Amino acid sequence: MSVLPIVTYNDPILKKKTKPVSENSEELQALIDDMFETMYHASGVGLAAPQIGEPLQLFVMDADAITEDIEDEEDVGAIVFINPEIIEKDEETVKMEEGCLSIPEVRDEVSRPKSITVSYKDRDFNEQTLKASGWLARVIQHEYDHLQGVLFLDYLSAFKRRLHKSTLRKIEKGKLETEYPLVPKL
């Protein structure tokens, strides 16, 4: 397994819709292993394939680090989502603070549906359906957005984005230090 460099917010791959994963393969399984290794190394709870430069409908997550100390939050462990589709969203929304490995040091509140139902293929390409709420739903929605070319910054007002402008400039120039590797700036 390898720790892969993470693409930052201004890379065009993060603004493109991804392609479905067509088949299971040794290469796909190795990519999934590398994605988990990268996510854990960066102390993240989710990582989408575009964040490591792969335009695939694939993300991994393990939100247990967040949910283990929260009452009424279920620990579900590490999960692989292949070709996910959110098939149901609660009308009630909740505002919570989010961050992103592709946008280090930037955090802000985003309003999202309180609960969702998602269908996907698991690591073994078996069809699954998961009803999620709380942090689990939030992480799934955040990572699912990456597959649609959407970043959590896109939910912020122009004013809120301006408040993060100096940090975003540091990221653009490759001058922000992180504990995990980033794709080098040209």
133 DSSP assignment: E
Instruction: Report the alpha-carbon distance of residue 57 to residue 48 in Å, rounded.
Output: 8
Decide if 26 is catalytic.
no
Write the single-letter amino acid at 45. Answer: V
Residue 127 CA from chain centroid, whole number: 21
* Active-site residue identified among 23, 143, 172, 179: 143
Instruction: Report the alpha-carbon distance of residue 86 to residue 76 in Å, rounded.
Output: 18
Question: Which residues contact residue 171 at a Cβ distance below 8 angstroms, ignoring those fewer than 6 apart?
Answer: 8, 9, 10, 103, 104
| Residues counted in the chain | 186
Burial class (CB in 10 A: 0-12, 13-18, 19+), 61: buried
Q: Which residues are designated catalytic?
A: 143
